[in-house]
Amino acid sequence: ASDGCETEGQFYSVQVGDSTFTVLKRYQQLRAIGSGAQGIVCSAMDTVLGIPVAVKKLCRPFQNQTHAKRAYRELVLLKCVNHKNIIRLINVFTPQKSLEEFQDLFIDFLSPQDLKPSNIVVKSDCTLKILDFGLARTACTNFMMTPYVVTRYYRAPEVILGMKYKENVDLWSVGCIMAEMISHKILFPGKDYIDQWNKVIEVLGTPSLEFMNRLMETVRNYVMNKPQYPGVSFAELFPDWAFPSDSEHDKLKTGQARDLLSKMLVIDPECRISVEEALNHPYIHVWYDPAEADAPPPQISDKQLEEREHTIEQWKELIYEEVIDWEERNKNGLMKEDCSDVVSGSASQSSSANDISSMSTEHTLASDTDSSSIDTLTGPLDESQ
């Protein structure tokens, strides 16, 4: 911590793996629960609110413009989102006390679009939350044209191949996550983005000629020169023994689960199930709430969130202003009228901060998260590159 912070006595430092967390003293019992290219997340006990929370330290948020924009985007979106299955922002702070010193950003949220298991956390009572908005996009932007970044294993074919994409790009990721929950292993564990494509077609089969004709010429030539694969049936991929089978109802659900997987894990996005169709699928329709699904989107305070382009220093100043604004409006981490909502909302949850865990079956490495796609290659598209 800086000298100013040590004098004020508000912060203390604790080593978490290879990283030092310099956090407010209200956060105790820090324990690492996940890490990735964008940050490290710890469970902790918030001694002010008396509830378990998660504290995320953003890793080097100002190392380049991309990381700085992601940090700003995540902070702005978290401040305006309020949904039971999405993390709720409780506090934002930095141990540094001036813009010149500012380098560490901490985000505190209740129970911890880059969809992957390490960005989904679940408690022992099956309460689930989505976290990490650093790569999320607002609905008002040109979704079809935005560069999409996601951990390679869960990357949709249209992203791998450098195509335009739409909302159902996330259903591919959901399908990969669901498959991993059933089989307890990663479905498409590619070593790089070319190997990732190879893993996809070996399992799902070579896509149609109509799909290939929509690819850029260099990518199309590469894809069409690959061996033809028939694909593996979903009954073989997800056999009956992988599901509960104690009753006829279980057997019915097994068929429905397999059917949903077969409609999400479709290479061609034009043939893949839509978000609305997925919500109405019999396997999950029992949890579908029209009022929730059709609720108005949150109001984004920054109307130019996606269009903004700044230098690193300008992004740093914008983020610092957001932190200061939060501190001024929430002197104790939350407005007093919101504290009772948070505490009562967590009453049915475990009182232990250690009850929060990531769904990930494998550590996410920084090198696994990038914006590469096959179309970024130069020269011949072969396996040696």
Task: Give per-residue pLDDT as tens, 134-145.
Answer: 433 333 333 333
Is 224 strand, coil or helix? Answer: helix
Calculate mean pLDDT across residues 203-232.
95
pLDDT at 378: 33
Of 146, 62, 47, 64, nearest to 96 (Cα)? 62
- Distance between CA atoms of 30 and 155, rounded to whole angstroms? 32
For residue 206, what is the DSSP state? Answer: P
**Distances from the Cα of 50 to the Cα of 26, 28, 167, 210, angstroms:** 10, 11, 38, 57
> What percent of the chain is helix, strand and coil (3-state, nearest 5)?
40, 15, 45
Domains of the chain, start order = 1-139+304-372 (3.30.200.20), 143-296 (1.10.510.10)
Options 46, 104, 114, 302, the catalytic residue: 114
More confident site: 142 or 282: 282
pLDDT at 144: 34
pTM over 0.75: no
More confident site: 307 or 286: 286
pLDDT at 230: 95
Find the farthest-apart pair of alpha carbons in the chain and give their distance in angstroms, rounded.
68
Of the candidate ranges 153-167, 184-198, 333-347, the one whose mean pLDDT is the lowest: 333-347
Most trustworthy range by pLDDT among 125-129, 243-247, 328-332, 367-371 = 243-247
Strand 120-122 with 357-358, pairing: antiparallel
Tell me which amino acid residue 323 is: V
pLDDT at 370: 52
Exposed, middle or buried: residue 124 (CB in 10 Å: 0-12, 13-18, 19+)? exposed
Does the active-site annotation cover 246?
no
Sequence-separated (6 or more) residues with CB below 8 Å from residue 165: 143, 144, 148, 156, 158, 159, 269
